[in-house]
Structure 1
Amino acid sequence: MPTEKTPPPVLPDFYYLNNFLTLIEYVAQQYTDLLNENEKAWIDCFQMLPRDGKALTVRLLSRRGIWFREDKLKYSEIKDLSATLAELERVGFVSLSNQPATEVACDLLTKPELVNLLSDCPLKKQEKKQVFVDYALETKPTLTLPFQCIALHHQEIMPVFLLLFFGNAHQDLSQFVLSDLGIHQYEDVEISKAYRLFRQRKHITDWLSLSELSEQLWLATTAKDIPCILGIASSVQASTAFETIEWQPMERKRQRLLTRIGRELERQSQLDDAVLFYQQSALPPARERLARIYTKQNRLALAADIVKDMLESPVDEDEQETAGRIARQLAKKTEINAPEKIKAAFESETVSLSIGRSVELTVAEYYQSQGWQAWYSENLLLNAVFGLTFWDIIFSPVEGAFLNPFQRSPRDMYHESFSSTRKDMLESRFRQITQHGLDYIFGVYKEKHGTSNDWVNWHYVTEELLSAAINSLSSAQWVGCFRRLLFDLRANRKGHPDLFMVKEGKPCFIEVKGPGDSLQYHQIRWLNYFDHLGIECKVVYVESATQ
């Protein structure tokens, strides 16, 4: 029987203005000492505008570009658009003209409109728009347009305000809308000026500069614009971005950018320049790439020295394992002591099945026919239990961790500082689990259901699955899993087996591999660790019964 669809929520007319007012109120409260005089004056002037003036300003700031056509602005909640624009021009927020520079006019006009304005143009109408643009630029200093053009001023304030509110350069006002619509619900976190991220004006300007460089690199890489990539690398090499920064959040951002540039240079066989960039970064895969470049250049002693450092002080398990693989290759030509290859300590079996819509679900049905309960659990179950177990610790007030109400996790969630800063709370929770188990997380599940948490996917994690997992693994086994996650939260939240199964209270994790599929290193590490904890696990290789 068909069910009626729930009508989509309707946002109030000025929802975007209310959201922007929240944003600038936060910025003014938290960072007034770091705002420059222009930004402070802009806020004061904005607050003095009538509601329609505020609303139109936000609408324009939220659009791409700085030039707009009045006749293309359709905002029903703004009663008198022309009068409102005149008010914004009076306070210096916009300029109005129907005779902008020809380049601007051509950008705003459609091809038919441009052709119509160039009535004396000898070109055939079938020519592409760019041909008419070139003609106009050569022959017309200005064009008189049949509509007002709007030039937005002070657009540079928006990136500053968004950065101060969100703590990054990629979120924008649409984040508010997701919350307004009820699509995302967020944990109520304590936001205090004492815990703010930015401490100096230089932090803000440098962050925006690095973000702009990162955006330029992404665009050039996406477009495969090699000259642009090389140009970015050259300009960065000559800039302050090649100098170490004491403030760690910025230094991590700098090193990520330099590692990306190094990788692009390496792809273009600019190996010596790539080395210079990699040497500036301690973040993976910089040391790995250095070792591989030196190996390629037959500078084996340098490669061996780097690999030794990676083995002695790996940043994470991936780097440690990568170093082992390179060391085994170098051991054939140098005296480096290479670790043995990690061996699988878990079982495997091969089954022949008629593969349906997915090989994982086919294997789940295969075991269900043998009396097992089976759930799809890849990167879902362990992460969810972790997120529920440590919910209050994840969202505890820590300096620089929470900057705004729209965070799914603290800013340092995937840095080493997460564990070190909260060490006492984590150890206390481990003792609690050891003594009393994990039954308390069902209360957390009910209380927080639907609230955004980077570790919990509410669409897949049911109470039935949680109950089966918590009742079949011991407290010691759960503590072991949590400690491994905490060792490297970013890397170890991945690589979990595809299926979790229970039969007569006995758990088993299954990694499914279809035809042509092979185990990844991070999957092997998790399976070996389960075996170490005494948790049954295995790999099931599936052959197609129809072939």
Structure 2
Amino acid sequence: MADPVELAPDYYLTNFHALMEFVMARYQPLLSDDERRFYSSFRALDLDSQRLYVRLLSRKGVPSSAGALFRQRKLVYPEIDDLPRAAERLVEAGLLRRNPALPPDEYLPLFSKSELLARSPAPLPKTLKRPALELALLEQSDDPAVLRDTLLTDETVLAVQAAEHFETFKLCFFGNLHRDLTDYVLRDLGLYRYEQYPLEQRQLPFQSREQIDRHLCYYDCLAQLDEALDEGADAILALAEQLPDGIRNDATLHRRLDRLRLTLARQLERLEEPEAADRLYRHCTRPPARERRARIAVRRGDIDTGLALCREILAAPHNEAEQLFAESFGYRTAKRAQRLPGWEAPTRYRPPTQTVALPQVPERVELLAAAWLEQGSAKAHNNPPAAPTSDQCFYVENSLLNGVLGLYIWDILFSPVPGAFFNPFQAAPSDFRTADFYPLRRAAFEQRLAELDSDILAQRVWRHYREKRGIANPLVAWEALPETLLELALARIPTDHWQSIFRRLLGDIAHHRSGLPDLVLFPAAGGYELVEVKGPGDRLQQNQRRWLAFFARHRIPHRVLHVEWQRP
């Protein structure tokens, strides 16, 4: 085992510098004057001041209209030699404000209940709950400045400034505002290794300032989402009006806007505002917008529109789930409305199923089933064979088929598609879980699938398995792919089966990479079989049913194994 890695006390500052320099090197022409001044002001600071600023910028202070608030006396960072002096320099640089003139209610959350009681100009009952205590304090003084000065007696409160400029740097580096510098730490600790891919200007996601501003606007709207959902229909519609327009060739922004509109529209449905919801759904190009519109139309008695939307989906479905909805919902609607001509009842596939009774033990039911399959039915009767068979069964769930695909297409997955990579710490391209993933690489994928044969598959898989071992890949779970399993899978699973499975996975990777069978069985006589295990009381999920139906269509051997507990 490797020795534990000890990070430097100010590792976070090193990582912060790396982020800032990365953005300046690639996006400087797209940054505003204020953002460039923020960078210059920060770089001109001494190390202690830089450390303190990054510490505060990375922490969640008390929000206020002047910026996140912190009590200076509560700040303890051993790596900062002179914290008061560092704070003073940050104030001089305009990156902190000291005791800003805020309404007293914005300062109250900084203090504990006991501290507020001690600072009260007049005695207050200790039994008061926090909200009542704060209200009583605010009502004691007609002059807010007096109460503020009382609260800040012997206190220095620091308000972080220019955080909004760092948000732009974060957006350019991460591509979103949800991630932080943890990825650097994981890399430095050796927990994650990332593939190397080009990050040249022409391949980066942001090519104009307009793009950056619209993404920032989206995140401003996203920050208001919870409040709007709670306040009701008017607030939801007002927020929808604030959403920026999409930008041509910026699929990421379109996806984000669609996702937010879908959330707003769904809440409008719950609030019994179907017409307003329908208007929002019309602005969405991704599922389940057409599904929701069809449901709304049928609920309000507009059968023609509902059925027309189902036919529109069937003519050009975005994914398999949307197609199955249109088939099922369209048929049920037509049947109720007595308009069945042209609609057929969807068939439900019933997979081959076996039930076995096994002793109840603490081990996972899938592992019990695998052991039973390896040793044959004698195991179930507590009568093991004289010599073990050479049947081999592995618990793989989603790891085997996804993993072989990930190894086979490794180079395509990490190819420099414009907009796919924001920074050097991505385990996958930014569009990996989206409907855009396959179309943007269609030519490369089609060529790779067309040339697939057993020799080429094995060569590519083994080459990447050995060259890329341990590097993060969204399809490859290294610990779940032992060499023995890979050898059997590549030898036993026919090329046409791999071809069909790969096409289905790539066609909708966000939905299809889950729901795969738990076990793969390699009988001693040859061949293979995929086995879905269901323990007592467990049922097949919809994505599992869809995979099993797919296996049936492509003659891929499969079954469902129901496990029951033996009676004592």
TM range (shorter): over 0.9
1:383 correspondence with 2:402: yes
Q: Is 2:328–2:345's contact at 8 Å kept on the other side of the alignment? A: no
Looking at structure 2, the residues matched to 354 and 301 of structure 1 have their Cα atoms a distance apart, in angstroms, of 56
Deviation at 1:513, TM superposition (A): 2.2
In structure 2, what is the equivalent of residue 278 of structure 1?
Answer: 281
> What is the alpha-carbon distance in structure 2 between the residues aligned to residue 47 and residue 287 of structure 1?
51
CA-to-aligned-CA distance 1:273-313 (integer Å, 9 cap, x gap): 22122222121111111111222222111111101101111
Question: Aligned pairs, how many?
Answer: 536
Deviation at 1:336, TM superposition (A): 5.8
Q: Would you say 1:228 and 2:224 are equivalent positions?
A: no
Q: Report the residue type matching 1:438 in the other structure.
A: L
Question: Contact 2:532 / 2:560 at 8 angstroms: preserved in 1?
Answer: yes
Shift of 1:30: 1.3
Counting aligned pairs with the same residue, the percent is: 33
Alignment of 1:356-375 (within 5 A): 356-357=361-362, 358-370=364-376, 371=389, 372-375=391-394
Residues 261, 495 of structure 1: alpha-carbon distance in 2 compared, 3 angstrom cutoff: same
The correspondence for 2:18, drawn from 18, 22, 38, is 22
Report if the CA contact (8 A) 2:100-2:159 is conserved.
no
Report the equivalent of 1:39: 35
Once residues 231 and 179 of structure 1 are traced to their aligned partners in structure 2, the CA distance between those partners, rounded to angstroms, is 46
SS in 1 for 2:94: coil
Q: Secondary structure at the match of 2:19?
A: helix
Question: Does the CA-based 8 Å contact 2:310-2:330 persist in structure 1?
Answer: yes
- The answer to whether the 8 Å contact 1:496/1:526 transfers is yes
Note the 1:164-243 alignment, pairs <5 A: 164-217=172-225, 219-220=226-227, 227-241=230-244
Over residues 456-483 of structure 1, what are the superposed CA-to-partner deviations in whole Å (9 max), with x where a residue is unaligned?
1123222222122111112222122111
Report the equivalent of 2:500: 480
SS of equivalent residue, structure 1 residue 459: helix
Q: Answer whether contact 1:497 1:509 (CA < 8 A) is retained.
A: yes
- Matches of 1:319 and 1:212 in 2, distance apart? 31
Amino acid at match of 1:78: I
Aligned to 2:423, what secondary structure does the other structure show?
coil
Please tell me the residue identity of whatever aligns with 2:82: D
- Is the CA contact (8 Å cut-off) linking 2:233 and 2:273 kept in structure 1? no
Distance 1:328 1:368 in 2: 44
Q: Which residue of 1 aligns with 2:56?
A: 60
How do residues 142-157 of structure 1 correspond to structure 2 at under 5 angstroms? Answer: 142=148, 143=150, 144-157=152-165
Kept in 2: contact 1:351–1:542 (CA 8 A): yes
2:124 paired residue number: 123
Decide which of 540, 552, 559 is 1:531's aligned counterpart.
Answer: 552
Gap change, CA 1:314 and 1:355, over 3 Å in 2:
farther
Of 318, 341, 348, 2:321 maps to: 318
Secondary structure at the residue paired with 2:307?
A: helix
Distance, in Å, in 2 between the alignment partners of 1:16 and 1:166 is: 16
Q: What secondary structure sits across from 1:331 in the alignment?
A: helix
Conserved? CA contact 1:99–1:145, under 8 Å: no
- Judged with a 3 Å threshold, the aligned counterparts in structure 2 of structure 1 residues 232 and 27 are, in CA distance, closer, same or farther, namely farther
CA distance in structure 2 between the partners assigned to 1:111 and 1:435 by the alignment: 70
> 1 CA distance for matches of 2:409 and 2:552?
24
TM-score, normalised to structure 1, is: 0.92
Following superposition, the deviation at residue 189 of structure 1 comes to: 1.5
From the superposition, tell whether residues 179 and 45 of structure 1 become closer, same or farther in structure 2 (CA, over 3 Å): same
Instruction: Tell me which of 349, 355, 362 is aligned to 1:344.
Output: 349
CA change 1:145–1:173 in 2 (3 A) is: farther
Q: Counterpart amino acid of 1:214?
A: L
Answer yes or no: is the 8 Å Cα contact 2:406–2:476 preserved in 1: yes
Match of 2:382 in 1: none
Name the CA shift for 1:522/1:14 in 2 (closer, same or farther; >3 Å): same
One-letter amino acid of the structure 2 residue matched with residue 402 of structure 1: F
1:464 and 2:467 are equivalent in the alignment: no
Equivalent residue for 1:445? Answer: 465
- Residue 11 (structure 1) aligned with residue 7 (structure 2): yes
Amino acid of the residue matched to residue 270 of structure 1?
E
**2:113 alignment counterpart:** 111
Deviation at 1:451, TM superposition (A): 1.2
Provide structure 2 residue ranges, at least 5 long, that are not aligned to the other structure.
62-67, 377-388
Check whether the contact 2:243–2:257 (CA below 8 A) recurs between aligned residues. no
Question: What is the identity, as a one-letter code, of the residue corresponding to 1:460?
Answer: A
Instruction: Work out whether residues 98 and 148 of structure 1, in 8 Å CA contact, stay in contact via their aligned partners in 2.
Output: no
Paired residues for 1:379-458 under 5 Å: 379-434=398-453, 436-440=455-459, 441-458=461-478
Structure 1's unaligned 5+ residue stretches are: none
Displacement of 1:414 in angstroms is 3.0
> With structure 2 as the length reference, what TM-score do the two structures score?
0.89
Superposed displacement of residue 541, structure 1? 2.4
Deviations, residues 360-392 of structure 1 (Å, cap 9, x unaligned): 222212212224311222211111111111111
Deviation of 1:444 after TM superposition, in Å, equals 1.5
Where does 1:82-97 land on structure 2 (aligned, <5 Å)? 82-97=84-99
Cα deviation per residue 1:35-61 (whole Å; 9 max; x = unaligned)? 111000111111111111211111111
> What is aligned with 1:508?
529
Which residue of 2 is the match for residue 490 of structure 1? 510
1:173-197 residue CA offsets vs partner (Å, 9 max, x unmatched): 2222222222221111211111111
CA contact (8 A) 1:166 1:404 kept: yes
Going from structure 1 to structure 2, the CA distance change for 1:121 and 1:347 (only over 3 Å counts) comes to same
Letter of the 1:464 counterpart: T
Aligned CA distance change for structure 1 residues 435 and 471 (closer, same or farther; 3 Å):
closer
